[in-house]
Structure 1
Amino acid sequence: MKVAGLSDKGLVRPNNEDCIGFKIKEDGMLLAIVCDGIGGSNAGDVASKCAVETFLNDFDQAPSLHTPKEASNWIKNEIDHCNDVIYQMASCNKNLHGMGTTLAGVLMNDKMTLIMNVGDSRVYGLFDRMVCLTQDHNLFQELLHAGQLTSEEIKRQPSKHVLTNALGVYDRAKVDIGLANNDYDCLLLCSDGLHGYVDEQIIKNVLTQQKSAEEKASLLIQAAIIAGGYDNTSVIVIEKEVGSND
């Protein structure tokens, strides 16, 4: 696997509240995560950095995960642990009260690919077409799922992007975990600084180019800047090496 990631504060925000991280262990297991901190002046950057560091540190100590069930159970336990750490930090420091973070990630080897999601950062898979492998945890999706409004009506709602789930905000967080089909060409993890402003066709055009993972990550950041750079933007591109098994 070839992995590359970049994070950029954009052209408008005063600092970067996103954080990314990835690591490949000796047994070939890869963990990659993108976090988008929330809380603004209440230290969203602290929450996102804490989530990444907690996950990667615990990943170092994790046993080998041989099956999707073992991997899924590890993710669930790690989400609980990570949520507890951030929640306790915020509870003990008034300057951090209300902070939290989204988290989108993958835990994978050459036999299985598990997708995890808390919030509205996303994981995309490039197959014969580009597919979003996560579902946003925000008001738009809740209203759409409830059938209360049409998608066009919801798009006119000013609060449609309000998160309904995040790490560290409450004493419990919900996580979606899915087992992806392993026949993708590459995976993309990104914060909403990319998918919220850059058309998916543009993203797909970058991912299908004959370029390295590093070059694709850089081009995706550039696309977000060209679109206005209104938000922090973070991406991780994961590509299969030529000749790797599906």
Structure 2
Amino acid sequence: MYSSIKLRFCCLSDVGKCRDNNEDNYIVGLVKSNEIDFYKINNPFTVQVQEFEINQNQSAVFGLADGMGGANAGEVASQIAMNTLELKVRELGKIPKSDNERVLFLQDIILKAHQNILKEAKHDASKKGMGTTAVLSALTTEGLTISWSGDSRFYALSPKSLDHKDHRLNLDRLSLISRDHSLVWDFVEDGEISAEEARVHHLSHVITQSLGSGTEKPNPESRICQISIGEKFLICSDGLNGMLQEAEIEEILMRNSSLNETLHELINKANEAGGYDNITLILIEIIDLVESIELNHGHSHIMATTASQPLGFQRKKRSKSNIFLLLGLIASIIYLSNFLVQNTKADIISKWNALIQDKKIIDTVVTKSMEDGLKDNSIESMTKVIEKDTYINKSENILDMPPIQSKLINKGNEIKQEDNLLIKPLKNSIVPRIIQSTNVDSLLDNQDSLKIDTSKKF
């Protein structure tokens, strides 16, 4: 999609006003042609502004985790998540290029980190019950991919020249690309409360999935985004959006200050509002794009999926020859319908076979109708006739996935509720179109009729 992408980024974390230690973690990985550099959280929890160019041989990954659990266990869980990201990137030595591969890569890291956290908790009883959220993103010349589990967020601030008309939560130019895996966000999506009411709700700390939960493994979701020059991306723990309204966050991001100044102002404002939690931020700005010659870049858009709903199944394009063949088949159906209703079973078989031998019609695949039976040894109707070796699509959107059940996780405290919550995965999976092969003789011998409906267009 792009031959090169120039960006700058900055990271900052703060313990807040009410916590004794920082259980958040972040990591940034710059994958170069001959090496991989990682920037990690440290004291004073900041990474100064860095610039980087992404091309065919270079890419970048960003990760943020908000830990939970007593006795410093939350810090351990979030660190394990970020370490897992680093190890998987170093192991592969690159970031996958295709959309589907990047989604699977990031979701696999989240699931692997979940297992690593459980393993550590099993070995050390003092860390039992620790967990973490995670937001991971990968940027290559093919675009931006994010995956997440929990209520840490990924925002996009669009440049003034763009007018987004997608399904993101639009707050003027600030868009929430992720969706919280939390009890109150389920209320928002059900239309029961507003996003602002959810922010200050007394159950806002209850999340519905995380890494490290001993009852249910996480079901990470993903987004694939196009990017634009001047666009900014903010990854944050809920210590920010729990303290500030989105309008306040947007106002600060829109100012023409440096990334470093922007992050410090966001953290200062969150602390002024109470600073009840750790605050961790990664800010990314796209400063230049060079598009590939064969592709034309338009407005940003997103595709959605969950761990149980991988991308990559796309409809094949019909060739012009296939279209002409289908038109010919339609004409064949109309022709057949004029004489089928007037002939006996034997006559129908004889004429059908004669037409095939004379190559006036093509060998076909016919779908059965199970509604009506044969009446008076004649055929009143027929189902669609579809060319056997032409376009038969094996996959289309959308299939409702089964709901996932997850235990309530009371973030920062012990689990106090045992009720199961319903998590609603996004609908972006595969619907198979099943076509049953048969022939005219077997259909006529069957007790079910063939339905003719020449008014249908397909």
So what's the TM-score if we normalise by structure 2?
Answer: 0.50
Distance 1:187 1:244, change over 3 A: farther
Aligned equivalent of 1:41? 71
Give the superposition deviation at 1:144: 4.2
Aligned equivalent of 1:205? 251
Distance 1:158 1:215, change over 3 A: closer
Give the superposition deviation at 1:42: 5.9
1:124 aligns with 2:166: no
Distance 1:243 1:70, change over 3 A: closer
Q: Distance in 1 between matches of 2:181 and 2:272?
A: 27
Distance 1:28 1:208, change over 3 A: farther
For residue 151 of structure 1, what is the amino acid of its counterpart? I
8 Å contact from structure 1 (residues 42, 95) kept in 2: no
8 Å contact from structure 2 (residues 73, 130) kept in 1: yes
Aligned-CA RMSD value: 2.0
Aligned equivalent of 1:16? 22
Alignment of 1:217-232 (within 5 A): 217-232=263-278
Q: Secondary structure at the match of 1:240?
A: strand
Q: Find 1:115's aligned residue among 131, 146, 156.
A: 146
1:151 aligns with 2:181: no
8 Å contact from structure 1 (residues 101, 167) kept in 2: yes
1:60 aligns with 2:90: yes
Structure richer in helix, relative to its length: 1
Aligned equivalent of 2:120? 89
Percent same amino acid at aligned positions?
29
For residue 266 of structure 2, what is the amino acid of its counterpart? L
Deviates more, 1:236-245 or 1:71-80: 236-245
Give the superposition deviation at 1:215: 2.2
1:240 aligns with 2:286: yes
For residue 98 of structure 2, what is the amino acid of its counterpart? T
8 Å contact from structure 2 (residues 103, 146) kept in 1: no
1:25 aligns with 2:26: no
Deviations 1:21-55 (A, max 9, x none): 11111132111111100113361111011111111
Q: Secondary structure at the match of 2:135?
A: strand
Give the superposition deviation at 1:200: 1.4
1:98 aligns with 2:129: yes
Q: Distance in 1 between matches of 2:77 and 2:269?
A: 26
For structure 1, the 5+ residue unaligned runs are: none
Aligned equivalent of 1:137? 181
Distance 1:239 1:228, change over 3 A: same
For structure 2, the 5+ residue unaligned runs are: 1-6, 33-56, 161-172, 292-296, 298-458
Give the superposition deviation at 1:9: 0.3
Distance 1:113 1:89, change over 3 A: same
- Bigger Cα Rg: 2
Higher relative contact order (Cα pairs below 8 Å, separated by 6+ residues): 1
Deviations 1:125-183 (A, max 9, x none): 011400000000011123444x4x7216x858633430110011136211011112322
